[in-house]
Amino acid sequence: MVKALITGITGMDGSHLTELLLSKGYSVHGLVRRNSAYEVNNIEHLKDKVIIHYGDLLAEHDLALLIHDLQPDEIYNLAAQSDVQLSFECPEYTNLVNYHAVLRMLQAIRNFAPFTTKFYQASTSEMFGNSIPPQNEDSNMFPASPYGASKLGAFYECNIYRKSYGMFICNGILFNHESERRGLNFVTRKVTKAAARIKLGLQDSLELGNLDAKRDWGYAPDYVYAMWLMLQQDKPDDYAIGTGESRSIRELLEEAFGYVNLDWQQYVSVNDNYKRPNDVNYLQADSSKARKVLGWKPTVTFSEMIRRMVENDLVKERELVSVK
């Protein structure tokens, strides 16, 4: 039985990856911060099938001890401070979690399981910043936020350890991906929840920042499958993962509000306070390498993904009303 350790197991990606690995017969272990122990809704249905270890990525000794004792075949590092806006407000903490903790993890693997543990690092398209789209593994990287910069630092460290010590390390440069389990601090879920609540008469309006920013959005279960594929290859490498199609926030609003037969322009306004100090304007993936080497491709369209998210929010909001 293959043994996997997932950091960030309670997050959107972590829960979808857990389901995938369990379906493949893995023994799944998850690292959870104690103060996040109650935030387990995404894996509530899996709690009897996984083994939870309480700890913190910033506790170097605890992390090293876990890797030493567990000796996992695969590690998926999905834990991060992933809120781009928050990274401007808390740049030091963002760097500690997204960069320093990764370096400590790499060092622990090097010390205790350098040739037996495969490591997946969750990189991000935010590392590209405003480089010319479409972006792939060879594109210039000019991060426009502390979040993107912290992830780029970890990306480079992973490459250094892979080349210097012969470790099996892959960076998954994932473009934006969403699902029904996406947190409410992300714009896609803000939009789908607002569309559902406004349709049900529970909310009057929605305020957003930059409506012209364009992103390459895909469905999270497709993307965690790409993570798994990377660690099944004979050689480690880095892969850009995305749909190859980019849409603006305005198009996201049209899709979500259109599904519930509402005109988003009647309900959405721009609040400059939600705009980032330095925004990324246009991200679009060139995933030709992943399609050729991994045999990966997206299976759920943007429209279908947004439909599922809006429907899910409609169900949740109706349930909350009935409880009240």
Question: Do strands 51-54 and 74-77 pair parallel, antiparallel, or not at all (unpaired)?
Answer: unpaired
Out of 18, 19, 74, 126, which one is annotated catalytic? 126
Give yes or no: 126 in active site: yes
Q: How far apart are CA 80 and CA 102, in angstroms?
A: 10
User: Any residues with CB less than 8 A from the CB of 51 and at least 6 apart, and which?
Assistant: 27, 28, 29, 30
Give yes or no: 156 in active site: no
DSSP string, 53-111: EE--TT-HHHHHHHHHHH--SEEEE------HHHHHH-HHHHHIIIIIHHHHHHHHHHH
Q: How far apart are CA 55 and CA 225, in angstroms?
A: 26
Smallest CA-to-CA distance from 92 within 149, 174, 143, 141 is with 149
Reported as type and span, the H/E element at residue 177 is strand 177-178
Out of 124, 188, 192, 243, which one is annotated catalytic? 124
HSE-up (13 A, CA, CB side) for residue 268: 23
Out of 147, 219, 225, 259, which one is annotated catalytic? 147
Residue 21 amino acid letter: L
Q: How far apart are CA 14 and CA 30, in angstroms?
A: 9
247 forms bridges with which residues in the sheet?
Answer: 215
Smallest CA-to-CA distance from 241 within 189, 306, 285, 188 is with 285
Q: How far apart are CA 191 and CA 136, in angstroms?
A: 28
Give yes or no: 299 in active site: no
Three-state SS string over 263-316 comes to CHHHCEEECHHHCCCCCCCECCECCHHHHHHHCCCCCCCHHHHHHHHHHHHHHH
Read off φ and ψ for residue 141, nearest 5 degrees: -120, 115
Smallest CA-to-CA distance from 7 within 61, 69, 58 is with 58
Structure tokens at 175: 């473009």
Active site residues: 124, 126, 147
